[in-house]
Amino acid sequence: MNRVVVTGMGALTPIGHDVTAYRDALMEGVCGIAPITRFDTADSKYTLAAEVKDFDPSARLDKAVLRKTDRFTQYALWAAEEAMAQSGLTAEGAVDPDRFGVYFGSGIGGFETFCEEDKKLLEQGARKVSPQFISKMISNIAAGNLAIRYGAHGPCVAITTACATGTTAIGEAYRTLAGGYADAILCGGSEASITPLAVAGFANCMALTQSDDPNAASLPFDARRGGFVMGEGAGVLVLERAEHAIARGATILCEVVGYGSTCDAHHVTAPDPSARCSARAIKEAFGDRDLARETVYFNAHGTGTPMNDTTETTALKATFGEDGAKQIIVSSTKSMTGHMLGAAGAVEAIAAILALREGLVPPTINLREPDPACDLDYTPNTARQANVTLALSNSLGFGGHNACVAFARWEG
C-alpha cells in the first residue's frame, strides 16, 4: 500500500478567493453570510446566503471557457489553478498524463444554467435553449473540464454524494493512489446553486434558517440554531503517491492517513440519530491510533440544523467514548462560510490541514448559547493555539452519505 500526501491546495470561498485569504478570514472569525444579491428576496422568508463576492473569473479564465461553462465549473477551474501551481505538477514532465487523474464532484451541478435555460424554454420556446445547455449543466462536467485543462488522461471520476461530495472525492482519490492505480489526482468539489429554485427547495424541506441576521443565522451547536445557510465556492487538493512526490522534489504539505465511507440507509434527508454508521466512518478514518497520544482537531460537518449537530456529537461519543470525545478539539467553519454543499468537504479539508500545519484551530463563531445536547469542545468564537497532530474532516449528505478523511504531519 502506497503512502499518500497532499502537495497542492486551492480555495474559492465566501470569505476568501485563495487559500491565504481563506485562512486569514477563518482565524479572524470573519462571517461570510449576508443578504442575497443574486435575486430579489423581498417576498421571501429566506434572505441570507454566503455568496462568493467580487468574483472576476476572467482574471484566470478566457472568454471561450466562460461562455461554455456554468459558474460551478468556473469555481472549480479557479481553485484548481491555485492547487496545481502550488503542487508544481504544471511543470513539463512532472507527471505521466496517463497516471494523472481527476476525482471531482458537485452536489447539484449546473443549477444556475438549468434554471436559465428552463426559463428560456417556457418563455421563448425550445429553439432558444442553448446548444451548450447539457454540457454546461451536467454534474460531471467540472471534472471533465479539469481533466481537459491539465491533460489528465488517468481515471476521471465525477462523484456526487450530496453534501459529502468533496470529502468523498478526496477519500476515493486517496484509495486509488494508495492502491497504486495513479501517481497524482486532482480532487475536491464545487457548488454554485444560490438560485430562487434551490433556495425554495431547501426552504420547503425545512433545511434553511429564516434568520435575517448574518450573525444569528449559521449557528452550529448553538441552542438557537434553526437551519443552515446556503454557501458556494470550490475546494481543490492535489494528492500524490508519496514516492512520486519525493522523486520530483515536491513540497509535501501533509499526509492523508485515513478515510471512512458509510451510509446510514435510514432516511433521504435526516441522519440516523443513533449515529451508528456516521461513527463508523469516523472510526475508519481514525484507524488504530491511540487517542491518548494524539491532539485531534475535528472539522465537523456542523450545519446548524437541529438533528445534524446532535447526531454528530453522538457520533464522536460513540467513536471515542464520552470522556475521549471531550478531549478532541472540534469546530464548524460553516459558521463562517455557510454550507457550501458539494464544495463543503474539500474546503473544510483545507481548514483541517491548515490547523494541522499551523497549530491554530479555527473557531465556531457566534456560538453564544450552547445546546446542552452538544456538550463537546467546539472552539467557540475565537481561534485557538493547539499542537494538532491529527486532523479529521467530516461530512454528511442527503441520502445518508457519511465520509471522513484524516490528515497527519508528514514525517518522511
Domain over 4-247 is classified CATH 1.10.287.470: no
Per-residue pLDDT of the chain (412 residues; tens, 9 = 90+): 999 999 999 999 999 999 999 999 999 999 999 999 999 999 999 999 999 999 999 999 999 999 999 999 999 999 999 999 999 999 999 999 999 999 999 999 999 999 999 999 999 999 999 999 999 999 999 999 999 999 999 999 999 999 999 999 999 999 999 999 999 999 999 999 999 999 999 999 999 999 999 999 999 999 999 999 999 999 999 999 999 999 999 999 999 999 999 999 999 999 999 999 999 999 999 999 999 999 999 999 999 999 999 999 999 999 999 999 999 999 999 999 999 999 999 999 999 999 999 999 999 999 999 999 999 999 999 999 999 999 999 999 999 999 999 999 999 8
Residue 377 β-bridge partners: 329
Tens of pLDDT along 234-282? Answer: 999 999 999 999 999 999 999 999 999 999 999 999 999 999 999 999 9
Instruction: Say which of 339, 374, 401, 404 is annotated catalytic.
Output: 339
Which CATH code for domain 257-408? 3.40.47.10
Active site residue 339: yes
**What local confidence, expressed as pLDDT, does residue 412 receive?**
83
Full-prediction pTM beyond 0.85? Answer: yes
Residues in the chain, total: 412
pLDDT digits (tens, 9 = 90+) for 340-366: 999 999 999 999 999 999 999 999 999
Which residue out of 17, 244, 301, 401 is catalytically annotated?
301
Same fold, 4-247 and 257-408: yes
Could you say which of 17, 31, 156, 163 is catalytic? 163
Q: For 301-331, how does the pLDDT look when each residue is reduced to its tens digit (9 = 90+)?
A: 999 999 999 999 999 999 999 999 999 999 9
Going from N- to C-terminal start, the domains of the chain cover: 4-247, 257-408
Is 163 a catalytic site residue?
yes
The residue type of 277 is C
